[in-house]
Amino acid sequence: MDNFELNKIAAAVFGSALFILALTIVTDFLYSEPELEEQAYIVDVGESIVDMVAVVEEIIEIDVMALLVLASAQNGEKVAKKCVSCHNFQAGAPNKIGPNLYNIVDRQMGVMDEFAYSKALTARGTNNDKWNFDNLFHFLENPKKWLPGTIMGYAGIRKPNDRADLINYLHTISPDSTSTIEE
């Protein structure tokens, strides 16, 4: 074996050792437990995000009226197209898969004649609960979450502005409503 070949072997051994060392460092880094400090930091960030979401939700809740003041009934009428497969909006029109929604704002829940409401909605009506702005706003975001047991098969409208526009429109077709939209 000449010197040249010995050098090649040494280089190969050295190269593999270096490779294994690098691999160890990288895997250690990837799979190491975070230091306590880092963990505390991660929890902190998580909690701040939860806090932030709660604050935003609170603001949105407080501002239902502010949203309604700025809302467009004209756009709301377009949003209401999402409902027409199941609801009529004209006075005296029959119930469809869902009850007629003419005069819905401030109407007692679950009171349309000849409509077979869920137990959940009937119970709210018996309790004399009304479809005021707040209740509509939260129901329409996620019907099944707000009213567990409802048979309204509709996922909900996520955008607060769209819900406000829709409710503003419903208000224009609710002559018996006792609520006004003003700040």
Q: DSSP string spanning 118-154?
A: -HHHHHHHHTT-B--HHHHHHHHH-HHHHSTT-----
Footprint of ligand HEC on this chain (CB under 6 A)?
82-83, 85-87, 97-99, 101, 104, 109-110, 112, 117-118, 120-121, 131, 140, 150-154, 157, 166
CB of 151 to ligand HEC, least distance (A): 4
| C-beta of 53 vs 116, nearer to ligand HEC | 116
The least distance separating ligand HEC from the CB of residue 37, rounded to whole angstroms, comes to: 49
Shorter beta-carbon distance to ligand HEC: residue 16 or 148: 148
Residue 99 vs 173, nearer CB to ligand HEC: 99
Q: How far apart are CA 182 and CA 139, in angstroms?
A: 22
Q: Report the residue number, 32 or 178, with the smaller CB distance to ligand HEC.
A: 178
What span, in angstroms and rounded, lies between the C-alpha atoms of 69 and 27? 57
Inter-axis angle of helices 160-172 and 133-141, nearest 10: 130
CB of 99 to ligand HEC, least distance (A): 4
Contact, 67 vs 164, CB < 8 A? Answer: yes
Phi, psi of 123 (to 5 degrees): -60, -40
Smallest distance, ligand HEC to C-beta of residue 73, A: 14
